[in-house]
Amino acid sequence: MEIDDLDDEELAFSRNYFLAKELGGSKKKSSRKLADIDVVDEQELRAAAAKIEPKHEKEIAALIASYKSLYSKWEFELRCGFGLLMYGFGSKKALIEDFASTALTDYSVIVINGYLQSVNIKQVIVAIAEVLSDQLKSRVRNASGSTSKVHQPFTSRSMDDLFSFLNGSNEEDKDCFVCVVIHNIDGAGLRDSETQEYLARVAACSHVRIIASIDHVNAPLLWDKKMVHTQFNWLWYHVPTFASYKVEGMFFPLILAHGGTAQSAKTATIVLQSLTPNAQSAKTATIVLQSLTPNAQSVFKVLIEHQLSHPDEEGMPINNLYAISRERFLVSSQVTLNSHLTEFKDHELVKTRRHSDGQDCLYIPLPSEALEKLLMELG
């Protein structure tokens, strides 16, 4: 083909292209709108989604088994001072919690659900400090047989004091640390720069180890070079699980459900702000509890049962809750119970008040009818 023929062919192609664009722009545009879509009821849509049968179960099981073979390596890397960051398609919640309950039984573990918008970073840091303090006191008690002196409550300390305590200076306790599991560290409740800076400072403390997951494609943009390599000290693991975001998705409205405008926005506001229980919030409380571990749910059921059987009392003494929970093998230590209570208090599911005999008692700020419904939904 000659060069002139090529030029004529390209010219004809260009002419046809612009002619098509011109004719296409003159056509009548569709009057259809997104609001015209025949959407279904939200409950019906969720029920239909729940009935979808999983595919490739054998392959996924083999994939998860390959991750479990890395548990000992992950634990070793945590002991060496690294943070673990899990990414990949699918929810990592079940995988990380299985790792924590299987390989980290010798350590205290605190779970932060970053997909909630009600996370209070100051309360989180206070909870970590309290758990670490109990751990250190237990060591001192076992070593010397005496208890340590009483310190100022962590809730009244400044952030700098809390970080100083978590960083520690005692070489003998350098192998004593708290493991902090953060589901969706890039979640809505943790995404602002101030919270990420606090989390980075927590991760840099000598008595803290971080295991976190991310799902947003732009999550790495939350951190600068210092935060990634010096403070978080991430080891990145690509662990696609192909698991559904069932728990995380409960806190967001379905865009194809009926009432996707005003009604869905209202529902989303109720769920995301969550979580101040009142007479109408048993369903919201159920959603929150379903995001916690089975043992945490069972501990909460103990509180419900006590409150229903003792409606005239101020609440349930913490010592009684610990005794029953330990008897039912729900917790192994007071530290574990404290971590569950911290989660309940963070979501305002449980409050504390003083008993007439001076004891601190726990109570759920819900009426009896709501508690009965909540107990039924928890099974």
Tens-digit pLDDT profile for residues 119-133: 888 888 998 998 888
The answer on pLDDT for 66 being more than 90 is yes
62 and 104 part of one domain: yes
| Least trusted range by pLDDT, from 100-114, 145-159, 336-350 | 145-159
pLDDT at 277 over 50: no
Same domain, 103 and 224: yes
pLDDT at 273 over 50: no
The residue range of the domain holding 349 is: 256-378
Residue 141 structure tokens: 């008690």
Average pLDDT (227-242) is 94
Three-state DSSP class for residue 216: coil
User: Is residue 344's pLDDT more than 60?
Assistant: yes
Above 50 in pLDDT, residue 278?
A: no
pLDDT band of 199, cuts 50, 70, 90: very high
In a domain, 41, yes or no: no
H helix or E strand, kind and range, residue 334: helix 334-346
Within a domain: residue 342?
yes
Q: Output the CA–CA distances (angstroms, integers) from residue 112 to 36, 123, 129, 157, 252, in the order listed.
A: 40, 11, 14, 21, 18
Question: Both ends of the chain: CA-CA distance in Å?
Answer: 78
Residue 173 and residue 128 share a domain: yes
Do residue 71 and residue 155 come from a single domain?
yes
Instruction: Output the domain CATH number for residue 318.
Output: 1.10.10
Other C-beta atoms within 10 Å of 325: how many? 21
Indicate the number of domains in the chain: 2
Same domain assignment for residues 234 and 263: no
Say whether pLDDT at 347 is over 80: no
Looking at residue 259, its pLDDT comes to 46
Report the candidate in 118, 43, 35, 103 with the shortest Cα–Cα distance to residue 73.
103
Residue range 145-173: mean pLDDT, rounded: 73
Percent above pLDDT 90 for the chain: 30
Instruction: Give CA–CA dist 281/270, Å, rounded.
Output: 9
**261 and 215 within one domain:** no
User: Where is the domain boundary, 217, 248, 279?
Assistant: 248
Task: Let me know whether 321 and 372 are in one domain.
Answer: yes
Residues 240, 267 within the same domain: no
Quick check: pTM over 0.85?
no
When comparing pLDDT for 10 and 219, which is higher? 219
Cα distance between residue 94 and residue 108, in whole Å: 18
Lowest average pLDDT, out of 67-81, 88-102, 146-160, goes to 146-160
Residue 298 confidence (pLDDT) above 90: no
Write the CATH number for 71.
3.40.50.300
Cα 263 → chain centroid: 26
pLDDT in tens, 183-198: 999 988 888 889 999 9
The whole-number average pLDDT for the span 343-366 is 82
Tens digit of each residue's pLDDT (9 = 90 or more) over 203-217: 999 999 999 999 988
As a whole number, the mean pLDDT across the chain is 79
Q: What is the pLDDT of residue 213?
A: 96
Last residue of a domain, one of 248, 280, 301: 248
Report CA 333 to chain centroid distance, whole Å.
22
